[in-house]
Structure 1
């Protein structure tokens, strides 16, 4: 935070394997997956923290972290003159020859970062969600309430509860009376029985409360050593947990349409649907809000170019793309080439994908360096696609980095 305000250390949990996003995570950590053409998923949480004046941030990494580490070190360079930084922190095995046992254990093994900074508060945020949020508003409520931890919650349909940690608020609407990890049939909210408060994976702790809870959790051999499954229930039982309603958060430049937008893109279908949100006539999530920008690395590439027969509609076309064919309702990352006669519909193409002459790509996600041969089809024959490629529950065809197209 700015000089004179409370000191806050940001800790971003970015060690997740992301199995449900395979094959996009076969070569990289989930927070390093490309999103929206030019961004990485980790850019969204880092942009929110930095825009909110939390300028000392440690990103805890573990699983296939090279791509993520490189992106952070080359993109997120803060002012060392002012003591600000964003730094990746790999698993250091400070407590013995073992990897992280869970998200709580990851912070426990990295407490040297806390001891070095001596912050008043610690913002522990997840690394793989798409949203805008001003963390200062959550911090203000946290300080005013005197809570040991404040957890951000968002209202979602009760039917989606098996995918989230579910927060049960007390009569005052703030005190957390219960915290259930992915329950099958939780009670609905008093004012909206068909909805529940889902945890967004964003927490602000007083340093004292977090450190004490981590040490106590470490002594429990039966614990899963997880922030949502272990630490939050512990502090809830003590009456130290408060809910922050994400619906009350506002960022500069937001519209009525994208206020409160938050997506967990942990599955291929969710990842695909979030991209379709970007290219709607009235986007559900606006990448072009200059008052609360999402930062990322921009490669030195020439502008996108369209050949004589090239066309793109309802699409995002990044720099370095060459479009000679037809592109509709798609998101293209830098360096994508769509040759003459090729058709790309409702698809997400990552860096340097090439779609050959006369090929058809429909309802697909193609990772970096996929080369679609001339005349080939993806997303046209569902039975054939399921034999050759990964296909989601909703029929989205996904090819991994450099995967050969048959």
Structure 2
């Protein structure tokens, strides 16, 4: 894979994930307690022996840049020609933000050409999955393809949010529709459509030619799915590569966590007895950056003190967290979370540094970093009250509290007296 370069698109606003993306890029949003969303694409690259990676950023990229610098650079050796470079918009070609996925790559074409790759793997930095890109590159070579697209079987309802492909018996793509209202199903399989995963393997010279052609094309939105792919499927060798899941489960696992409810459900999947996503697989390790916090701790047993018992059931509890006389059920507690005596937290995701006061009650909530929940507060029990407090409530009824919501002042005015 020495002649292969990976380009990860990590510059989207992630507006559907607000307020979690209020202060960070979507790929930098925490996931599963210890990880960030970007860690999955990066882990796939390392596990696939791709040692040259460009991470294209744009909006609110500071925490993403910091995470990559602290947690990922040591996996790559510059002296051996390996690197992971975070590339902000440079406006070398145009004095505006990236106009589409193809434009993001085009505006950095000088950086790509400088590396002289034979093949370029283009990835999104905001999906949760495990995949061996090396197998896809080899398939691309075997088919003598100009472009190979990762393909996922989805139901027709979900397919309306994807690029949908039609293929012949050799997996050559003969049709492509971006987010169709009535997607075409797979011949002989009316229950599924063949959707683009937003994973592309290009022969490098072909990619450069298409980017330059698209950049000057009138009316183009400069997007791979909307413009470049439909324009080449009838004239070039474009193939679909069926998704081969490295998750080693009976069902293929791929998640777009682009909405609050999708993000919440994907996290909650992890606390099942046999979770759909296997994070404990030594054959395909997931890597990240973690500070050197002490082990999690559970203190105070129930010894005649009412319901004071430090316990966590069916939960993930990260380093540095202390459950001190409180009760945690079906939750993900990030690093350095503290749950104090008589507090009750259920079906929730607490980011790093959240402090839950005594007698507080939380259910079906996502609480961002460093929030202090006052003693006696209740979150997720009265959604109308939570909305009046200024908190975000998702379509599925999950209460989301951002870092900057001023929760202490807001909640203290509505806390019931502790009896």
Q: Say yes or no: TM over 0.5.
A: yes
Alignment match of 1:169 (pick from 164, 167, 170): 167
Segments of 5+ residues of structure 1 without an aligned counterpart are none
Matched, 1:404 2:406: yes
Structure 2 residue aligned with 1:370: 371
Matched, 1:68 2:64: yes
Alignment match of 2:121 (pick from 120, 123, 132): 123
Deviation at 1:404, TM superposition (A): 2.4
Contact 2:245 2:253 in 1 (8 A): no
Partners of 1:17 and 1:403 in 2: how far apart? 20
Partners of 1:250 and 1:66 in 2: how far apart? 31
Contact 1:369 1:402 in 2 (8 A): no
Partners of 2:332 and 2:376 in 1: how far apart? 21
Partners of 2:225 and 2:182 in 1: how far apart? 18
Segments of 5+ residues of structure 2 without an aligned counterpart are 301-308, 412-419
Structure 2 residue aligned with 1:334: 335
Alignment match of 2:54 (pick from 58, 66, 91): 58
Contact 1:352 1:369 in 2 (8 A): yes
**Paired residue secondary structure (2:233):** helix
Larger Rg: 2
Q: Deviations over 1:20-60 (max 9, x none)?
A: 00000010110111101111111100110111011100000
Alignment match of 1:271 (pick from 257, 263, 266): 263
Structure 1 residue aligned with 2:306: none
Contact 1:213 1:234 in 2 (8 A): no
Alignment match of 1:255 (pick from 231, 234, 248): 248
Partners of 1:385 and 1:69 in 2: how far apart? 33
Partners of 1:331 and 1:402 in 2: how far apart? 21
RMSD (Å), alpha carbons: 1.2
Structure 1 residue aligned with 2:95: 97
Partners of 2:249 and 2:105 in 1: how far apart? 37
Contact 1:331 1:347 in 2 (8 A): yes
Q: Deviations over 1:45-88 (max 9, x none)?
A: 01101110111000000011111111111111111221111110
Alignment of 1:338-357 (within 5 A): 338-357=339-358
Contact 2:249 2:276 in 1 (8 A): no
Partners of 1:12 and 1:189 in 2: how far apart? 29
Alignment of 1:313-324 (within 5 A): 313-324=313-324
**Paired residue secondary structure (2:288):** coil
Partners of 1:294 and 1:212 in 2: how far apart? 35
Partners of 1:318 and 1:35 in 2: how far apart? 12
Matched, 1:393 2:374: no
Alignment match of 2:136 (pick from 135, 138, 144): 138
**Paired residue secondary structure (1:237):** coil
**Paired residue secondary structure (1:10):** strand
Deviation at 1:237, TM superposition (A): 3.2
Deviation at 1:374, TM superposition (A): 0.7
Partners of 2:149 and 2:172 in 1: how far apart? 10
Partners of 1:148 and 1:234 in 2: how far apart? 13
Structure 2 residue aligned with 1:214: 211
Partners of 1:205 and 1:234 in 2: how far apart? 15
Alignment match of 2:33 (pick from 31, 37, 58): 37
Structure 2 residue aligned with 1:11: 7
Contact 1:181 1:229 in 2 (8 A): yes
Partners of 2:313 and 2:271 in 1: how far apart? 9
Partners of 2:404 and 2:101 in 1: how far apart? 31
Structure 1 residue aligned with 2:223: 226
Structure 1 residue aligned with 2:197: 200
Matched, 1:283 2:245: no
Contact 1:367 1:400 in 2 (8 A): yes
Partners of 1:129 and 1:400 in 2: how far apart? 22
Deviation at 1:250, TM superposition (A): 4.6
Query: How many residue pairs are counted as aligned between the two chains?
Result: 396
Q: Deviations over 1:75-120 (max 9, x none)?
A: 1111122111111000000013222111111111101122111110
